[in-house]
Amino acid sequence: MNRRATAGFSLIEILVVVAIAGVLAAFAIPQTINALKTYRLNAAVSSAAAAIQTSRYLAIMNACPYFITFTPSTNSYQVTNSVTCTTAYTGPVTPISGPAAVTISRIMTLQFSANGTVSETTTPPNGVSPMVFQITNSIGGSNTLTTSTVGNVAVTSP
Protein backbone atom coordinates (compact mmCIF):
# COMPACT_ATOMS: atom_id res chain seq x y z
CA MET A 1 0.00 0.00 0.00
CA ASN A 2 1.32 3.40 -0.98
CA ARG A 3 0.78 6.13 1.53
CA ARG A 4 1.12 9.66 0.39
CA ALA A 5 3.58 11.72 2.37
CA THR A 6 1.78 14.39 4.30
CA ALA A 7 2.93 17.93 3.77
CA GLY A 8 2.97 20.65 6.44
CA PHE A 9 3.16 20.72 10.23
CA SER A 10 0.81 19.45 12.86
CA LEU A 11 -1.05 21.82 15.17
CA ILE A 12 1.08 20.74 18.14
CA GLU A 13 4.31 21.53 16.31
CA ILE A 14 3.06 25.00 15.41
CA LEU A 15 1.95 25.68 19.00
CA VAL A 16 5.34 24.63 20.36
CA VAL A 17 7.12 27.00 17.95
CA VAL A 18 4.77 29.88 18.83
CA ALA A 19 5.30 29.23 22.57
CA ILE A 20 9.08 29.27 22.17
CA ALA A 21 8.89 32.52 20.16
CA GLY A 22 6.69 34.07 22.87
CA VAL A 23 9.15 33.16 25.62
CA LEU A 24 12.07 34.58 23.64
CA ALA A 25 10.13 37.80 22.95
CA ALA A 26 9.27 38.13 26.64
CA PHE A 27 13.00 38.25 27.42
CA ALA A 28 14.17 40.22 24.38
CA ILE A 29 11.70 43.13 24.33
CA PRO A 30 12.58 44.63 27.77
CA GLN A 31 16.29 44.24 27.04
CA THR A 32 15.86 46.01 23.72
CA ILE A 33 13.92 48.87 25.32
CA ASN A 34 16.63 49.35 27.98
CA ALA A 35 19.34 49.28 25.33
CA LEU A 36 17.53 51.98 23.35
CA LYS A 37 17.26 54.15 26.48
CA THR A 38 20.98 53.72 27.10
CA TYR A 39 21.78 54.68 23.50
CA ARG A 40 19.59 57.77 23.84
CA LEU A 41 21.42 58.75 27.03
CA ASN A 42 24.79 58.37 25.33
CA ALA A 43 23.59 60.41 22.35
CA ALA A 44 22.31 63.19 24.63
CA VAL A 45 25.61 63.31 26.51
CA SER A 46 27.55 63.48 23.23
CA SER A 47 25.26 66.23 21.97
CA ALA A 48 25.71 68.31 25.14
CA ALA A 49 29.50 67.87 25.18
CA ALA A 50 29.74 68.82 21.51
CA ALA A 51 27.58 71.91 22.07
CA ILE A 52 29.84 73.05 24.91
CA GLN A 53 32.98 72.66 22.82
CA THR A 54 31.39 74.27 19.76
CA SER A 55 30.35 77.30 21.82
CA ARG A 56 33.94 77.70 23.00
CA TYR A 57 35.22 77.54 19.42
CA LEU A 58 32.66 80.16 18.35
CA ALA A 59 33.87 82.52 21.09
CA ILE A 60 37.48 82.10 20.04
CA MET A 61 36.76 82.33 16.31
CA ASN A 62 34.59 85.46 16.59
CA ALA A 63 36.62 87.04 19.43
CA CYS A 64 33.41 87.60 21.32
CA PRO A 65 31.89 86.08 24.48
CA TYR A 66 29.37 83.27 23.90
CA PHE A 67 26.97 81.63 26.32
CA ILE A 68 25.31 78.23 26.43
CA THR A 69 22.34 77.63 28.71
CA PHE A 70 21.06 74.16 29.61
CA THR A 71 17.42 74.13 30.67
CA PRO A 72 15.92 71.14 32.52
CA SER A 73 12.26 72.07 31.91
CA THR A 74 12.72 71.61 28.16
CA ASN A 75 15.77 69.28 28.24
CA SER A 76 17.45 71.62 25.80
CA TYR A 77 20.24 74.12 25.35
CA GLN A 78 20.58 77.45 23.60
CA VAL A 79 23.70 79.25 22.40
CA THR A 80 23.85 83.06 22.35
CA ASN A 81 26.58 85.67 22.18
CA SER A 82 27.19 88.86 24.09
CA VAL A 83 25.37 92.06 23.21
CA THR A 84 28.80 93.67 22.80
CA CYS A 85 29.53 91.56 19.70
CA THR A 86 29.38 93.12 16.26
CA THR A 87 26.88 90.52 15.04
CA ALA A 88 24.23 89.33 17.46
CA TYR A 89 23.59 85.61 17.55
CA THR A 90 20.82 83.70 19.27
CA GLY A 91 20.73 80.08 18.33
CA PRO A 92 17.62 77.92 18.33
CA VAL A 93 16.48 76.10 21.45
CA THR A 94 17.92 72.66 20.72
CA PRO A 95 16.65 69.55 22.51
CA ILE A 96 19.41 67.19 23.58
CA SER A 97 17.18 64.15 23.05
CA GLY A 98 13.68 63.08 22.09
CA PRO A 99 10.71 63.80 24.35
CA ALA A 100 11.06 62.33 27.86
CA ALA A 101 14.14 60.28 26.89
CA VAL A 102 16.53 62.02 29.31
CA THR A 103 16.53 64.77 31.94
CA ILE A 104 19.06 67.48 32.75
CA SER A 105 19.81 67.92 36.46
CA ARG A 106 19.89 71.72 36.69
CA ILE A 107 19.91 75.05 34.90
CA MET A 108 23.45 75.93 33.94
CA THR A 109 24.83 78.80 31.88
CA LEU A 110 28.44 78.74 30.78
CA GLN A 111 30.26 81.81 29.47
CA PHE A 112 33.05 81.35 26.94
CA SER A 113 35.57 84.17 26.64
CA ALA A 114 37.39 85.09 23.45
CA ASN A 115 40.62 83.71 24.94
CA GLY A 116 39.03 80.26 25.34
CA THR A 117 38.39 80.25 29.08
CA VAL A 118 35.07 79.11 30.51
CA SER A 119 33.16 80.15 33.62
CA GLU A 120 29.69 79.49 34.97
CA THR A 121 27.41 82.50 35.28
CA THR A 122 24.64 80.66 37.16
CA THR A 123 24.97 79.81 40.83
CA PRO A 124 25.01 76.06 41.36
CA PRO A 125 22.83 74.64 44.15
CA ASN A 126 24.44 73.70 47.46
CA GLY A 127 26.65 70.65 47.19
CA VAL A 128 27.09 70.94 43.41
CA SER A 129 30.43 71.89 41.93
CA PRO A 130 30.49 74.70 39.38
CA MET A 131 30.33 73.67 35.70
CA VAL A 132 28.99 70.20 36.55
CA PHE A 133 25.61 68.71 35.68
CA GLN A 134 24.05 65.30 35.11
CA ILE A 135 22.00 63.83 32.30
CA THR A 136 19.83 60.92 33.41
CA ASN A 137 17.49 58.46 31.69
CA SER A 138 14.37 56.73 33.03
CA ILE A 139 16.06 53.39 33.80
CA GLY A 140 18.52 54.94 36.23
CA GLY A 141 21.42 55.52 33.86
CA SER A 142 23.27 58.75 34.52
CA ASN A 143 26.33 60.57 33.21
CA THR A 144 28.04 63.55 34.79
CA LEU A 145 29.48 66.24 32.54
CA THR A 146 32.28 68.33 34.03
CA THR A 147 33.59 71.31 32.07
CA SER A 148 37.08 72.58 32.86
CA THR A 149 38.05 76.24 32.82
CA VAL A 150 39.60 75.74 29.36
CA GLY A 151 36.54 74.03 27.85
CA ASN A 152 37.47 70.36 28.12
CA VAL A 153 34.42 68.22 28.88
CA ALA A 154 34.87 65.10 30.99
CA VAL A 155 32.05 62.54 31.08
CA THR A 156 31.81 60.13 34.00
CA SER A 157 29.32 57.40 34.86
CA PRO A 158 28.59 56.48 38.47
Q: What is the pLDDT of residues 51-68, one digit of tens each?
A: 999 999 999 999 999 999
Mean pLDDT of the chain: 91
pLDDT tier, 9 (very low <50, low <70, confident <90, very high otherwise): confident
Nearest alpha carbon to residue 52 among 132, 152, 134: 152
pLDDT of residue 2 exceeding 60, the answer is no
User: Can you give the pTM of this predicted structure?
Assistant: 0.83
CA distance 38 to 59: 32
Domains of the chain: 12-156 (3.55.40.10)
Beta strand 142-147 pairing with 132-137: antiparallel
Ordered DSSP codes for 20-51: HHHHHHHHHHHHHHHHHHHHHHHHHHHHHHHH
Q: What is the pLDDT of residues 30-47, one digit of tens each?
A: 999 989 999 999 999 999
Q: What is the pLDDT of residues 128-137, one digit of tens each?
A: 899 999 999 9
Nearest alpha carbon to residue 110 among 102, 120, 97, 122: 120
